[in-house]
Amino acid sequence: MDFGSFLATPEIKVKVITYRDIFQDKAMIENRFGEGYRNLSAVIKLDPVDLKQLNVKKGDTVILKNSFGRIVVKVDESGYETPHRGIAYMPKSPWSNMLVSDETGGTGIPKFKDISVTITSAKGEKITEIEF
């Protein structure tokens, strides 16, 4: 068991894989400031064992944090049959982009698919707004 799970508020480290979702894209076309788009975007999907370790359940909010940003999103179970502890999934959105590094090595290409974060329970804190 990771050291993080002995903390008062359990904390785990995950790699985040982003992806596109047709339902989310449809919601974005309809209203990118609407609740529908937010519900389908501000979410992270975890392995059920990782959920348990964080002591959170489906629908709770969690804090995702790294040196580039801190956001609060809802947590969900991934639904994948194969266990994937330490790997989490997020639809590509302004929320996931708050966690992407500004390091590009001068290539012009950010590391969109190379995101690592720590997760803890947000204890009811509200989902982060995307407005600047």
- Classified as helix, coil or strand, 110 is coil
- Residue 26 or 58 having the CB closest to another protein: 26
The least distance separating another protein from the CB of residue 45, rounded to whole angstroms, comes to 10
| Contacting positions for another protein (CB under 8 A) | 15, 17, 19-23, 25-26, 29-30, 32-33, 68-69, 80, 82, 87, 89, 93-94, 97-98, 100-102, 104, 106-114, 130-132
CB of 106: closest distance to another protein in angstroms?
6
Q: Which is nearer to another protein, 4 or 69 (CB)?
A: 69
Write out the H or E segment, with its range, that includes residue 121: strand 115-121
Strands 69-77 and 61-66: antiparallel
Q: And the tokens for 71?
A: 């956001």
For the CB of residue 109, give the shortest distance to another protein in the complex, in Å.
Answer: 5
Dihedral angle computed from the Cα positions of residues 45, 82, 49 and 46, in that order, rounded to the nearest 10 degrees: -10
Smaller CB distance to another protein: residue 42 or 121? 42
- Specify the DSSP element, H or E, that contains 23: helix 22-30
